[in-house]
């Protein structure tokens, strides 16, 4: 197997891993939103929880969007 073939295989595997990481992140955010809903939290309370966890702003927006759509 040539170096070029190995590099191509590596890049394919990296792309696959990146897609899986994004899918896991999306699933985690959905689970977070469902848990917040189960505890009957308000949007303000959810924001407080996310702030206390030092949640990244992009993740916070995604979780809040999922929470609002439940």
- DSSP string of 25-44? HHHHHHHHHHHHHHTT--HH
Q: How far apart are CA 35 and CA 44, in angstroms?
A: 15
Q: Residue 1 has what pLDDT?
A: 86
- Sketch the domain layout of the chain as residue ranges: 25-70
The rounded mean pLDDT for the chain is 97
Longest dimension (CA), the chain: 57
| pLDDT tens sequence across 1-33 | 899 999 999 999 999 999 999 999 999 999 999
Q: Residue 52 has what pLDDT?
A: 98
Question: Which residues have CB under 8 Å from 47's CB, separation 6+?
Answer: 60, 64
Q: Residue 63 has what pLDDT?
A: 98
| pLDDT tens sequence across 52-67 | 999 999 999 999 999 9
């Amino acid at each position: 197997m040539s170096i070029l073939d190995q590099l191509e295989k590596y890049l394919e595997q990296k792309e696959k891993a990146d897609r899986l990481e994004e899918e896991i992140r999306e699933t985690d955010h959905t689970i977070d939103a469902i848990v917040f809903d189960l505890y009957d939290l308000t949007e303000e309370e959810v924001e407080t929880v996310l702030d206390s966890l030092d949640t990244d702003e992009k993740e916070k927006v995604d979780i809040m969007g999922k929470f609002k759509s439940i």
